[in-house]
């Protein structure tokens, strides 16, 4: 049988956990395949993507800075890629390239699995980049009654909301400045998601303790460090706090499932991740 392959393209890609996760998954299901990270400069994007049409290629993941530029190179786009305006997964279907976004569905699937029930509840999202956009989509998919997006540059939050509002009509969407989260709130939130990149720099978005309701879940989409300042502050205010590893694993699993048609071996992902983190 032909050896198959998949890869990640980005610039840079050296830090990625994806090769660790997907190579462990291929081994666990006994598939003759490998996954590698390829550093692709913007001027080489077209030729890099053309290679994904080869019969032995399963597909690819796409990270910054290519998530939007790659859209024009696809033959078809999934519903959530059209809504989110970015993709993170390419599936090779007999030489046709299908663009998918597993971030939003991965976050929603993980939240369902760990019992974070947003249905009929108000949610707050801090940040308005690509991850925040996927988060708003996921919260609406889970049936949140409302989602408010707060961002350092409020115009970016406004753009995000205006792009998603026509497609997410069952959820009330609004936006404001990030500073609003630090002020005494007029309402409490059931889910608060930190989708800013502050945790990467050891910084914390300021959230007033009164924002957290008794059964609130605070989710930091960052996972390095695994316990962020945002999570510590949320726990101190009485909330349950989670990091972004669940989203990471489930977005990887959904990509694996699209490429192979097989259920992803979640235990293999978790074991590979534990080993990688321990080896750091
Ligand atoms: P992005 O598109 O670059 O967006 C970054 C966001 O952070 C923007 O809203 C930006 O605000 C805000 N920000 C940056 N520096 C800030 C500062 N000093 N003060 C306040 N706000 C600041 O990044 P992204 O791809 O959305 O990623 C955001 C986070 O999600 C990262 O921690 C990333 O690792 C994480 N993530 C996790 C997963 C997962 O699987 N767990 C997947 C994707 C992303 P402005 O609009 O004002 O610039």
Question: Quick one: tokens of 133?
Answer: 């956009």
pLDDT band for position 15 (50/70/90)?
A: confident
* Cβ of 127 less than 6 Å from ligand 1: yes
Atom 20 (ligand 1): residue with closest C-alpha? 152
The mean per-residue pLDDT over the stretch 41-58 comes to 98
* 3-state secondary structure (DSSP) of residue 62: strand
Atom 12 (ligand 1): residue with closest C-alpha? 196
* Cβ of 193 less than 6 Å from ligand 1: no
Q: Which atom of ligand 1 is nearest to the CA of 203?
A: 18
* Cβ of 198 less than 6 Å from ligand 1: yes
* Cβ of 149 less than 6 Å from ligand 1: no
The mean per-residue pLDDT over the stretch 23-30 comes to 97
Is residue 247 predicted with pLDDT exceeding 70?
A: yes
> Do 271 and 143 form a contact (C-beta atoms < 8 A)?
no
Helices (H), the chain: 18-28, 45-50, 79-84, 102-113, 130-141, 154-164, 229-236, 245-260, 266-279
Question: Quick one: tokens of 118?
Answer: 């947003």
As annotated, the active-site residues are 67
Is residue 93 predicted with pLDDT exceeding 70?
A: yes
In the chain, count H helices and then E strands: 9, 12
Q: What residues contact residue 165 under an 8 Å CB cut-off, 6+ apart?
A: 173
CA 124 to ligand 1 centroid distance, Å: 15
CA 194 to ligand 1 centroid distance, Å: 8
Q: What is the pLDDT at residue 139?
A: 98
pTM for this predicted structure? 0.94
CA–CA gap between residue 21 and residue 252 (Å, rounded): 8
CA 130 to ligand 1 centroid distance, Å: 7
* Cβ of 103 less than 6 Å from ligand 1: yes
Q: What is the pLDDT at residue 174?
A: 98
The mean per-residue pLDDT over the stretch 168-195 comes to 96
Average pLDDT, the chain: 95
């Amino acid at each position: 049988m032909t050896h198959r392959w998949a890869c990640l393209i980005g610039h840079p890609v050296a830090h990625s956990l994806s090769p660790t996760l997907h190579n462990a998954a291929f081994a666990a299901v006994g598939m003759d395949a490998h996954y590698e990270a390829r550093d692709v400069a913007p001027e080489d994007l077209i030729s890099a993507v053309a290679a994904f049409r080869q019969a032995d290629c399963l597909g690819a993941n796409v990270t910054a800075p290519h998530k939007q530029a790659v859209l024009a190179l696809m033959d078809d786009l999934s519903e959530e890629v059209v809504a989110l305006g970015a993709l993170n997964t390419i599936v090779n279907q007999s030489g046709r390239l299908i663009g998918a976004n597993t971030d939003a569905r991965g976050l929603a699937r993980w939240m369902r699995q760990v019992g974070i029930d947003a249905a009929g509840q108000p949610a707050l999202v801090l940040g308005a980049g690509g991850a925040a956009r996927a988060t708003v989509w996921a919260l609406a998919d889970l049936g949140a009654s409302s989602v408010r997006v707060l961002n350092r540059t409020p115009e970016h939050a406004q753009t995000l909301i205006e792009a998603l509002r026509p497609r997410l009509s069952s959820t009330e969407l609004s936006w404001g400045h990030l500073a609003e989260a630090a002020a005494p709130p007029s309402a409490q939130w059931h889910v608060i998601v930190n989708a800013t990149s502050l945790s990467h720099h050891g910084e914390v978005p300021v959230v007033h303790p009164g924002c957290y309701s008794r059964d609130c879940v605070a989710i930091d989409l960052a996972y390095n460090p695994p316990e962020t300042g945002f999570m510590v502050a949320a726990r101190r205010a009485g909330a349950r706090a989670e990091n972004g590893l669940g989203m990471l694993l489930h977005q990887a699993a959904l990509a694996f499932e699209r490429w192979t048609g097989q259920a992803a071996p979640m235990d293999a992902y978790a074991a590979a991740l534990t080993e990688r983190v321990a080896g750091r």
